[in-house]
């Protein structure tokens, strides 16, 4: 459904992505693992055109093009197929939970006010936030804000949802709230790419795991095999460093 090939990205003299090939199958849940600075977030941001890659190709359904030659109009069209959940929520502070979800439906999707409100409330219900629809972000916990952000990302039925470390700013209790919502989405067949440090989520929910280090993909494979039979010494070292109990 979505594929990028030979993606390169530099920030100044720092080469963050060094020729990454990455593929997303419909209905899959992909966990992207790696230490800070490995290029995980930059990969997501290049896929979603929040950053402009320096080199590479992108394919999305029947769209295929050099990633550096994609026009602004094409970027808008591609973004309509993607949802993005940020580490820091990125909610509008002066808008209620409901209005945050409504924003994309009314402005980007051009839904009627009635249709948009019905859809937004359905999404808030899905993430367990319907009773907080009229609360502002400052009145919500971090976990609640992130659930609103997820509702916003899935409201217009994107083909894939990209999550950039959605629980890293949360304490363990609030992390559980957000992961429960993500597990539910996975069970419903939502295609997701999740940059995460949550090893348990990667093992139990993801069906494919990618490990990145120093701007390249070191190893990838089915979740069960990745944790039980890692092939790379770098992968083994990472799993031991993160205190994973799943390596045999």
Report d(CA 36, CA 160) in Å as an integer: 24
Enumerate the β-bridge partners of residue 59. 3, 64
Residues 6+ apart with CB under 8 A from 159: 1, 2, 26, 60, 61, 81, 82, 191
Cβ count within 10 A of residue 150: 26
Q: Reading across the β-sheet that carries 192-195, which strands appear in turn?
A: 82-85, 160-164, 192-195, 29-33, 208-213, 216-222
pTM for this one?
Answer: 0.92
Specify the pairing of strand 14-24 against strand 208-213: unpaired
Domain coordinates of the chain in residue numbers? 2-11+25-91+160-241
Q: Which CATH superfamily is domain 2-11+25-91+160-241 in?
A: P-loop containing nucleotide triphosphate hydrolases (3.40.50.300)
User: In what helix (H) or strand (E) does residue 33 lie, and over which residues does it extend?
Assistant: strand 29-33
For each of the chain's 248 residues, which pLDDT tens digit applies? 899 999 999 999 999 999 999 999 999 999 999 999 999 999 999 999 999 999 999 999 999 999 999 999 999 999 999 999 998 888 999 999 999 999 888 776 677 888 889 999 999 999 999 999 999 999 999 999 999 999 999 998 899 999 999 998 888 888 998 999 999 999 999 999 999 999 999 999 999 999 999 999 999 999 999 999 999 999 999 998 886 554 44
């Amino acid at each position: 459904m979505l594929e990028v090939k030979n993606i390169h990205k530099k920030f100044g003299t720092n080469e963050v992505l060094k020729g990454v090939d990455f593929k997303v199958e419909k209905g899959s849940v992909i966990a992207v693992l790696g230490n800070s600075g490995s290029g995980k977030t930059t990969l997501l941001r290049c896929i979603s055109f929040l950053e402009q890659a320096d080199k590479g190709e992108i394919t999305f359904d029947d769209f295929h093009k050099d990633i550096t030659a994609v026009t602004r109009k094409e970027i808008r069209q591609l973004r309509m197929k993607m949802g993005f959940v940020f580490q820091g929520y990125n909610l509008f502070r002066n808008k209620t939970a409901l209005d945050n979800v409504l924003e994309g439906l009314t402005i980007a999707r051009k839904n009627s006010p009635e249709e948009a409100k019905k859809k937004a409330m359905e999404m808030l219900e899905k993430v367990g936030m319907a009773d907080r629809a009229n609360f502002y972000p400052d009145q919500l916990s971090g976990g609640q804000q992130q659930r609103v952000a997820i509702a916003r990302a899935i409201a217009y039925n994107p083909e894939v949802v990209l999550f950039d470390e959605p629980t890293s700013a949360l304490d363990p209790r609030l992390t559980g709230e957000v992961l429960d919502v993500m597990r539910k989405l996975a069970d419903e067949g939502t295609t997701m790419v999740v940059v995460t440090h949550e090893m348990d989520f990667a093992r139990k929910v993801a069906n494919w795991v990618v490990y990145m280090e120093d701007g390249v993909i070191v190893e990838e494979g089915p979740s069960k095999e990745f944790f039980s039979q890692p092939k790379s010494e770098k992968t083994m070292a990472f799993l031991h460093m993160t205190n994973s109990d799943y390596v045999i």
